[in-house]
């Protein structure tokens, strides 16, 4: 993302008036100008980069449209515009110039692009740039998909949650009250109070979108797509436009809070009937995709209820035989982003594989055959297939999202870079070297650890180092790029970064991933210590007297736990972001209760061998052993790990007489997303570690 900006012209301010009526945003955020000093990658440089979002390929395969967001730190906001370029390469053309963000670009034909702006769905002629309003949505629009013939649209809008009939009279005449009455669970989710729920509607498209006569596809108040992550990927049209398959967890309240059992439903447009084709599969089933011939449908499927990090299997249902086939049987890695090839002979998917996200192809005729298409030090976060060309949204530890192209028949190939919108800034930066290191754990296993060198590294000098503790807890330390935890910002501040794929990280087989559940204070913590000691002992340029540790979420818990097990002062300073401090509180404060039920074994009062072991590793039980300075960061709108956890940890540190700092955000969530808040977060991060390690 970005920072440091250009003055806006009168023309640009005038152009902002094309936003929807009533919109008070008038300042258009433009690409900033910035000069990098001495090649150092700082938080300010990071926020000056353009953030690529969604992409779309024209039907003839010659045009690539994408959204690109720039940020204005003074205004504390960003907005996305739509750009278009030839898929053969070349200059990009800006299609929109507004003060509002455009999103969800979709080609209707080779020269017409549909998209959303505010609560509107619009079209634009990509040649003349003339726009047309297609529909306005009273409750807003989150996204849409169109049928292959361009005549139908399924869109997502939010509907308000109504008070139960016996509660509604209590609110009579109290239109200014802020009180909430709840009599069931799931009254809040991740970062929002559940005052509305998403639903998908079917409407006809003929010049304009007939929203007035749209049809609700889901027959109840169940959310579709699923919160908090679900979007347009959770439903799809069949190729002939006669059916819509969608993801839904048809549960509410306490049942929803305790279960991950979603299903794949197929809605027949002609008669309005719905069939559940994944009934009996007890975990998450999501993101259905029809084959081109309409005889099969594929989706991502988890086997076990309540385990949100179960292996994502590639499941295929055959409509003719009514049979299910698992195409990842015997393949110890999960899949996402499934796409059928044009002839339906293969299924493409992104696979978390050995520290990278790669594209694999699965043979439909023979499920034992599969091949790796892409290969390199990168993460592919999504892709589109156009003919025999693959257009991938790709990042690495050293560059933000950009489009790379691959050929369908590639065999472990590196892609070809297509978009160049950040090259002018990145060319001024000296990124820290990134090395793949496989080290032995204390029990003799092989563990991938990324080692990121300080920028402008000099082998004759010694440097401080930071241990990075991953969140999740089942989350891979991959070649990710983020404006929240960015290894190159740490490198630019003059640090080595040690980033282990400890026990619990997917991408290294099911057994490795599952060794963390019920063992938060066990093997995964030993892995962190082993990795730290390995580099301190074997890398003479790392000063073992200047090592700190940081992490968020489960990584924040890891910091609190390490703080209570730091007798030999392996770590000289800590920083914990939105971490779990008191497991007993966490088990009751969090909203998705299946999470603590699975990973901790159940509520603390269950008194089973598993829960006794889990809760005995709660960091708050080891505060008497804390002996190291610690910075605590937490946010008010984190409903996964609530702010009281961070406040309690900070208070405990101060009562212990430790040097401690508390950074609190009253308007952020599990992440810090607002530009100025993010910049403060990064400046505080660097200042805190510099205080003790430099």
Residue 595, classed as helix, strand or coil, is: helix
Q: What is the 3-state secondary structure (H, E, C) of 422-473?
A: CHHHHCCCCCCCEEEEEEECCCCCEEEEEEECCCCCCCCCCEEEEEEECCCC
Active site includes 620?
no
Q: How many CB atoms lie within 10 A of CB 90?
A: 10
Backbone angles phi, psi at 199, to 5 degrees: -140, 155
395: three-class secondary structure by DSSP: strand
Longest Cα separation, the chain = 75
- Calculate the CA dihedral of residues 12, 13, 17, 19 and round it to 10 degrees: 70
The angle that helices 554-563 and 523-538 make with each other, rounded to 10 degrees, is 70
Decide if 109 is catalytic. Answer: no
- The beta-strand segments (E) located in 58-194 are 63-72, 77-86, 93-94, 102-109, 112-117, 120-125, 131-136, 143-146, 152-160, 188-189, 192-193
Q: What 3-state class would DSSP assign to 228?
A: coil
C-alpha to C-alpha distance for 678 and 47, rounded to whole angstroms = 9
| Catalytic one of 618, 638, 678, 682 | 638
Is residue 354 within a helix (H) or strand (E), and if so which, with residue range?
none
Q: What is the pLDDT of residue 20?
A: 35
Q: Cα dist. 578→309, 487, 584, 646 in Å?
A: 20, 19, 16, 6
> In the prediction, which pLDDT does 25 show?
65
Running along the chain, 694 residues long, what does each successive block of 10 average in pLDDT?
28 31 68 93 97 98 98 95 97 97 98 98 98 97 97 97 93 95 94 95 97 95 95 98 98 95 98 97 98 98 96 98 97 98 98 98 97 98 97 98 98 97 97 98 97 98 98 97 96 98 97 96 97 98 98 98 96 98 96 95 95 97 98 97 98 98 97 97 98 98
Is residue 667 within 8 A of residue 552, CB to CB? The reply is: no
Domain 137-169+186-325 CATH (choose: 2.120.10.30, 3.40.309.10, 3.40.250.10, 2.60.40.10): 2.120.10.30
Is the distance from CB of 693 to CB of 575 less than 8 angstroms?
Answer: no
Sequence ranges of the domains in the chain: 1-124, 137-169+186-325, 327-423, 430-693
Residue 563 to residue 468: CA distance in whole angstroms: 14
Place of tokens 């109504």: 162
Given this model, what pLDDT does residue 17 score?
30
Which CATH superfamily groups domain 430-693?
Alpha/Beta hydrolase fold, catalytic domain (3.40.50.1820)
Catalytic residue of the set 189, 378, 670, 682:
670
Place of tokens 């009751």: 588
pLDDT of residue 24: 52
Q: Is 458 exposed, middle or buried (0-12, 13-18, 19+ CB in 10 A)?
A: exposed
Task: State the catalytic residue, choosing from 553, 587, 635, 678.
Answer: 553
The answer to whether 206 is a known catalytic residue is no
Q: Which of 368, 334, 329 is nearest to 349 (CA)?
A: 334
State residue 606 phi and psi, 5-degree precision: -65, -30
Contact (Cβ atoms closer than 8 angstroms) between residue 181 and residue 170 = yes
Q: Which of 590, 527, 534, 592 is nearest to 561 (CA)?
A: 527
């Amino acid at each position: 993302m970005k920072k440091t900006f250009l003055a806006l012209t009168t023309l640009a301010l005038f152009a902002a008036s094309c936003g929807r009526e009533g919109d008070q945003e008038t300042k258009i955020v433009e690409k900033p100008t910035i000069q990098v000093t001495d090649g150092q990658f700082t938080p300010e440089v990071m926020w000056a980069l353009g953030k690529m979002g969604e992409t779309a390929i024209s039907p003839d395969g010659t045009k690539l449209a994408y959204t690109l967001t720039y940020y204005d730190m003074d205004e504390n906001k960003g907005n996305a515009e739509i750009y278009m370029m030839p898929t053969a390469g070349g200059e990009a053309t800006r299609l929109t110039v507004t003060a509002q963000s455009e999103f969800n670009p979709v080609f209707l034909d080779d020269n017409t692009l549909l998209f959303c702006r505010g609560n509107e769905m619009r079209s634009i002629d990509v040649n003349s740039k003339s726009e047309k309003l297609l529909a306005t949505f009273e409750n807003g629009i989150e996204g849409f998909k169109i049928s292959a013939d361009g005549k139908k649209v399924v869109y997502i809008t939010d509907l308000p949650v109504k008070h139960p009939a016996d509660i509604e009279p209590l609110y009579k005449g109290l239109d200014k009250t802020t009180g909430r009455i709840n009599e069931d669970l799931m009254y809040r989710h991740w970062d929002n109070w559940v005052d509305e729920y998403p639903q998908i509607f079917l409407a006809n498209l003929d010049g304009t979108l007939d929203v007035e006569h749209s049809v609700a596809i889901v027959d109840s108040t169940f959310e579709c797509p699923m919160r908090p992550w679900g979007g347009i990927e959770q439903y799809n049209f069949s190729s002939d436009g006669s059916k819509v398959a969608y993801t839904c967890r048809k549960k509410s309240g306490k049942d929803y809070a305790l279960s991950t059992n979603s299903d794949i439903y197929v809605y027949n447009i002609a008669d309005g009937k719905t069939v559940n084709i994944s009934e009996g599969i007890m975990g998450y089933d999501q993101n259905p995709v029809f084959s081109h011939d309409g005889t099969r449908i594929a989706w991502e499927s988890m086997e076990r209820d309540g385990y949100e990090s179960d292996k994502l299997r590639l499941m295929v249902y055959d409509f003719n035989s009514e049979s299910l086939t698992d195409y990842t049987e015997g393949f110890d890695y999960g899949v996402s982003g499934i796409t059928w090839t044009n002839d339906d002979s293969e299924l493409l998917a992104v696979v978390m594989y050995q520290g990278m996200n790669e594209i694999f192809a699965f043979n439909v005729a023979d499920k034992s055959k599969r091949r790796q298409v892409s290969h390199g030090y990168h993460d592919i976060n999504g892709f589109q297939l156009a003919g025999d060309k693959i257009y991938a949204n790709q990042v690495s530890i050293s560059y933000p999202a950009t489009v790379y192209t691959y050929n369908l028949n590639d065999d472990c190939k590196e892609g070809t870079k297509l978009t160049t919108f950040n090259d002018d800034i990145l060319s001024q930066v000296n990124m820290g070297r990134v090395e793949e290191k496989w080290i032995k754990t204390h029990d003799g296993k092989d563990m991938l650890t990324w080692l990121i060198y300080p920028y402008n590294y000099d082998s004759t000098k010694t440097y401080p180092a930071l241990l990075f503790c991953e969140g999740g807890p089942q989350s891979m330390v991959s070649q990710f790029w983020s404006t929240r935890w960015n290894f190159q910002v740490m490198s630019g501040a003059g640090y080595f970064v040690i980033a282990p794929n400890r026990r619990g990280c997917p991408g290294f087989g099911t057994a490795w991933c599952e060794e963390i559940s019920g063992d938060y204070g066990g093997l995964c913590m030993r892995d962190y210590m082993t990795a730290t000691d390995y580099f301190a002992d074997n890398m003479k340029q790392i000063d073992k007297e200047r090592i700190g540790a940081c992490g968020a979420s489960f990584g924040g818990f890891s910091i609190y736990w390490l703080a209570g097990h730091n007798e030999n002062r392996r770590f000289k300073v800590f920083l914990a972001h939105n971490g779990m401090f008191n497991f007993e509180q966490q088990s009751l404060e969090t909203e998705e209760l299946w999470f603590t039920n699975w990973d901790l074994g159940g509520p603390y009062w269950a008194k089973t061998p598993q829960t006794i072991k889990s809760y005995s590793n709660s960091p708050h039980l080891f505060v008497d052993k804390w002996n190291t300075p610690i910075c605590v960061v937490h946010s008010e709108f984190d409903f996964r790990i609530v702010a009281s956890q961070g406040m309690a940890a900070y208070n405990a540190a101060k009562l212990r007489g430790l040097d401690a700092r508390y950074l609190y955000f009253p308007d952020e969530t599990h992440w810090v997303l607002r530009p100025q808040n993010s910049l403060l977060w990064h400046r505080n991060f660097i200042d805190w570690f510099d205080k003790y390690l430099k």
